[in-house]
Amino acid sequence: MTAPTTPPGTPVPAAAASPLSVDLCGRTALVTGAAGGIGRACTLRLAAAGAKVRAVDRDAEGLAALAADSEGLAGAVEPYLLDLTDLDAAEAAAAGTDILVNNAGLQLVRPIEDFPPDVFHTVLTVMLEAPFRLIRGALPHMYAQGWGRVVNISSVHGLRASAYKSAYVAAKHGLEGLSKTAALEGAAHGVTSVCVNPGYVRTPLVEKQIADQAAAHDLPEDRVLTEVLLKDSAIKRLVEPEEVAEAALYLCSPQASFITGTSLTLDGGWTAH
């Protein structure tokens, strides 16, 4: 199901209309979950700023499409086929990177008593243990050169819980703690670590969970967006992937060098309650 469009009268900012000017020429970035959604937007935005981007995903077709769409950008996009449950390979892939964007994620909406333990394990592996291994693989190079940026794409669910999302919420809360620890350890080495916390983003991950949310809350699918997903958001629209990518790029800029160990929230006022 395709997520409904923005309600009438709610302006959607064009993130690309006045792009942030950041020069990342000579930098190497790694983005996980790069074949679609937020990861795709981050990959293209970092490459447009001049970075060479290792685009990590297990979706070969999506990576090929991403590489084709990146032609002509200032930086090169290098497709990197990898399943993040292979933790040793994930750590090795991060070696030599200047910028690490931990983005890959998955979602299942179920009550705890019905949540499959194997899925819980996989979610925690991909969304928490893999970021740890990727950071671990990236830090030696970052420390050696005295500069590095770790951008963890968390979620409003890293700051707030929702029912029926035990694995996702646990992983995102864990990622917040990991990010803060990396910030404290990396500060003396010129490395920052920040979480970016969007609300619901217009991505396939969100679109695919609408049916599950409808079943969990006993609602028709056409009411899920307004009565569940956007219920606590003051701004009644989905976040666009490009908006998250602009935030990630900003965190790589000189102007953001003092921002570390914190969470940059793009939640439309959700956490203001």
Farthest CA pair distance, the chain: 54
Better pLDDT: 62 or 213: 62
Give me the half-sphere count of Cα atoms (radius 13 Å) on the Cβ side of residue 76. 5
Strands 99-102 and 148-153: parallel
Q: For the chain, which residues make up each domain, given as ranges?
A: 28-201+239-264
Residue 182 has pLDDT above 90, yes or no: yes
Read off the pLDDT of each residue in 39-52 and give the average, rounded to a whole number.
Answer: 98
Q: Which two tokens stand for residue 105?
A: 């994620």
- Assign 18 a pLDDT band (cuts: 50, 70, 90): low
CA distances, 147 to each of 252, 253, 262 (Å): 10, 12, 18
Read off the pLDDT of each residue in 160-188 and give the average, rounded to a whole number.
Answer: 98
- Is 168 part of the annotated catalytic residue set? yes
Q: Does pTM top 0.85 for this prediction?
A: yes
Residue 16 has pLDDT above 50, yes or no: no
Between CA 200 and CA 198 the distance in angstroms is 6
**Catalytic hit among 80, 143, 168, 250:** 168
Among the residue ranges 123-127, 143-147, 203-207, the one predicted with the least confidence is 203-207
Does the domain made of 28-201+239-264 have the CATH classification 3.40.50.720?
yes
Residue 189 has pLDDT above 90, yes or no: yes
- Assign 246 a pLDDT band (cuts: 50, 70, 90): very high
Read off the pLDDT of each residue in 71-88 and give the average, rounded to a whole number.
Answer: 98
Residue 80 has pLDDT above 70, yes or no: yes
- pLDDT for 27 equals 98
H helices of the chain, where? 37-48, 60-69, 87-93, 117-124, 130-145, 166-186, 204-208, 210-217, 221-224, 241-250
